[in-house]
Structures are given as C-alpha cells and as structure tokens.
Amino acid sequence: MTPTPRIGVLALQGDVREHVHVLGQLGADATPVRRPSELADVEALVIPGGESTTMDKLVRAFDLQQPLRDRIAAGMPVYGSCAGMIMLADRIVDARPDQQTLGGLDVTVRRNAFGRQVDSFEGDLHFEHLRDGEAHPLRAVFIRAPWVEEIGPAVEVLATVEDGPAKGRVVAVRQGNLLATSFHPEVSGDHRVHELFVDLVREARARSGD
C-alpha cells in the first residue's frame, strides 16, 4: 500500500486550518509546522496566504528560514498560496527594504498587485493540468493578491487572468516541485489545486524511490 502523503502547513500566520482541512479531505496526513523538528517530519509543505512581511519575520524568529531554504533546494514539494507565492519567489517588486524570501521559484512577483483588501475579487480561470479543467474553469478568490511579472525559462505558467484590467497577468506557476498561486483555493470549495499538489507530492516520492 502506498503510504499516505505527510504534508505540513506552515502555521505561523494565515489560512492554516483551511489548508489542513482540504488536504485531509484529499487523503493526506496534514499537520501544522511551526518548528524545525516538525518540518523534518513532513515530505512536503504548504505556505498559506497571509501577510508576507509578517510571515518573513516569523520564519526568521522561529529559526525556520534556513531549514526551509535547505529543504526547498533539496527538492521538497512546496505549494505557496498568495503570500506563499511571494515567499517562494526569488525576486519581489515593491518589497519592504528588509524583506526576505525563501526563494526557489525563478520569478519576479509584485506584492499587492491587485490593490488593497477592498479590491479583492473573484474570477474564473482556465488552469493547466487540473482535472476537468477544460470543461470546468476554476473559481479563484483574490485577496490583496500578488501577480507574477517575470518568469525564468524553467517556469511553467498555469493560469492567467482572463478578463478586466489585469487581463493576461500570470497568477499560477510551477517550477519542478514548486507550485504557486496568487489566489486562495482553500476558501473556494474547489479542491483541484490542492489535488494537483498532492499528486505532485506522490510523483516526487515515486521519483525518489520511497
């Protein structure tokens, strides 16, 4: 029998419970991660939405920054949602002077690109590699969301905004074992992005021979 994927959710700030709930519904063993010892016990990680500057400070305060960077560099599957996308980006536009990221994604991300909290919105996206993606667009919830302004050659664009002033902006990407979205699929009721990530975790395990 294939072991259940053990996926951590970085539990310093943001939509932690929502991600744990969705992952559990998909059959994963989901657990909060706040300490390096807890990170060592998981094979993959979700970095939730929240506030990226606060998350950066907490990651450093809890001595998680270097362990996270090491695991990402070693190929651990990671999914970053909204602020999580910013944390995974190699470069940020409009970052605070002391803001740092974990890196790993060869992208440039603009913080709060869609505006303030009052400018939050929902929209339908055609998202590559989702089950029934062609027949059923993904309803995406954007809350003070970033977007991707530049991508490196190894980065695959999975979704772009299809209507409105931000039409064409990149809002979902993948590079190897790293997946990131500008929006919050944990609050939409559509679990296909998490399903894609769980599949990615299983594929990474198969490649490693575990």
Whether residue 92 contacts residue 108, with contact meaning beta carbons closer than 8 Å, is answered with yes
150 catalytically annotated: no
Residue 107 placed within a domain: yes
Domain with 49, as residue range(s), is 6-208
* CATH number for 172: 3.40.50.880
| Angle at the Cα of 73 from the Cα atoms of 169 and 111, rounded to 5 degrees | 30
Residue 38 placed within a domain: yes
82 catalytically annotated: yes
What's residue 40's pLDDT? 97
Residue 40 placed within a domain: yes
What's residue 142's pLDDT? 87
What's residue 131's pLDDT? 85
pLDDT in tens, 134-155: 668 999 988 888 999 999 999 9
Residue 73 placed within a domain: yes
184 catalytically annotated: yes
User: pTM for the whole thing?
Assistant: 0.94
Q: Which of 128, 136, 162, 186 is the catalytic position?
A: 186
In the chain, the N- to C-terminal Cα span, in Å, equals 12
Residue 124 placed within a domain: yes
Q: Which of 19, 43, 82, 195 is the catalytic position?
A: 82
What's residue 117's pLDDT? 47
Residue 1 placed within a domain: no
Q: How many domains is the chain built from?
A: 1
